Amino acid sequence: MARRLSPLDIAFLQMETPEAPSHVGGLQIFEIPAGYKGSFVADLKARLEVIAVGEPFNLKLSPKGLPLAFPTWIADNNFDIDFHLRHSALPKPGRMDELMKLVSRLHGRLLDRTRPLWEMYLIEGLEGNRFGIYIKIHHALVDGVGGMRLMDHSLSRTPDDQNMRALWSVEEIEKRARLKRSMTDGAIKTAKSVWGPLRSMPQVLKALALPGKTEAAIAFKTSKTVFNGHITASRRFAVHSLPLAEAKEIGSTLGHTVNDMFLAICASALRRYLAEKNMTPDLPLTATVPVSIQLEGANKKGNQITYIAVNLCTDVDDPLERMAAIGRSAAAAKRNMSALTRHAVQTLAVVAQSTAALINHFHLSAFVTPPANLVLSNVPGPRETLYLMGAKVVGSYPMSILMDGQALNITLCSQGGRLDFGILGCRNAMPDINLLGKYVGEAFEELKELAASKNTTRPAESDSAKIKAKAKAKALAKPKAKPTAARTSKVVIEAKLETKVDAENEAKRPAKAKIARKAAETKVAEPVAA
């Protein structure tokens, strides 16, 4: 049965051009088990190509109907696994830069719309007894979070697990419940998909005007940079990995989340990149940040994302102040988004994507200010180490989409105790994109030093002092017991004696001390904010 596309899925199809393919991808690097006999990659391909293919990996676009008339996915009855699963090899010595060049070329090519919109490449010959897997899937078929979940399904949690799974495995896909829709149900849902966005438009328009009153970034209010011009089909790709546990510790010391750290590291790297080229813009850089709206436990197909705009505050010199300002901007954008209905959030995503499609198709980047300077995306993955046929995953680097006017995309994947940065750019705009990978590492080291400095300068508090402070806070938090009748006279007498002693002492003190004491009493009496 045909499956219709959502408005956002359609937008990803319509925005695609030869210079700007609309597929997402990923590069995973594996360590071959020590002492493996034979060709690991050839054996892997032989096991993968016999696995039956299920939805959505056996679906292609229907050739019937107009492009804008609710296109549908239909089953490819002539599916050919050899077309989609391919075996490649790097020239010796198989360095990382050669792998980057290969996946850059592969990522810049359009997918064949007469077939299911995905391809996988098994790439052997990487130095250090390693190999790579590069996969690309059209954004109309799956979003970044959905793609990550599919990748997780194909990997095991232990090196001893030799069960072969694949992205396209029918067995894995059939574990997820699928509801059969009648033609009537489909028509009703189509009508709802139109009426819902239309009804939410007033709220969307209000949301577009709201950021001007908050710390959230405003679309189309930024300066053009070297990565905000017309793009070509040529790509450049760079990667960098950071330790997740260390990033968490640094973030905790500095009072920020890992996502704040990610945005701040990118901001610092971009700031340095542009400064060294004498291209620092007048206005701070802004980023479009995709946000998943997939409900907990849901497994809806297609795109379940929307977008927020974040001010990267690249005009702030101090890195800690910059990160704090970025955190406030991201928080303001999320608050604005949380005030919207689900329909309004989805409509906002369609409006944003449709705007990008118009700029893309008509090459308007030369005439209009970009809605944002670049796209920054954080895709969470499993925290444990993953394996494929016993081969350990040592790197998982996302590759996303470039558009006319946005020649740079940085996507982060947290997986297996690492933060893996995938940095994708247009070759013509950023031939030296590897510098950004270097600057990402330097930005992290800068925050690491600042965190260490903060820990060093922080006064040490003894255990006894901590216990006393805790006990005092507990005592203050408890309401004082009302004195009984038997105790009342004693309390009054003691109070009078204390008053008398205080008065005698007060008389002996100089006038200056009296003033100081009076001020202290006034301060204690002030209410304390919660």
> Distance between CA 241 and CA 422 in Å, rounded?
9
Q: Beta partners for 238? A: 423
DSSP string covering 260-277, please? HHHHHHHHHHHHHHHHHT
Backbone region of residue 406 per phi and psi (left: phi > 0; alpha: psi in -120 to 50; beta: other values): beta
> Distance between CA 292 and CA 265 in Å, rounded?
22
> Distance between CA 439 and CA 241 in Å, rounded?
12
Confirm if 272 and 179 have CB atoms less than 8 A apart. no
Task: Retrieve residue 203's tokens.
Answer: 């709220």
DSSP string covering 307-371, please? EEEEE--TT--SHHHHHHHHHHHHHHHHHHHHTS-HHHHHHHHHHHHHHHHHHHHTTGGGTS--S
Task: Retrieve residue 19's tokens.
Answer: 């210079």
Sheet containing 374-380: order of strands: 235-243, 418-426, 408-415, 374-380, 286-292, 305-311
Three-point CA angle 222, 223, 228, nearest 5°? 105
Residue 30 DSSP code: E
Confirm if 423 and 413 have CB atoms less than 8 A apart. no
Task: Retrieve residue 362's tokens.
Answer: 């008509």
Task: Retrieve residue 375's tokens.
Answer: 């796209």
Which residues are part of the catalytic machinery? 139
Strands 387-388 and 3-4 come out as unpaired
B/e letters for 324-347, b = 16+ CB within 10 Å, e = fewer, are bbbbbbbbbbeebbeebeebbbbb
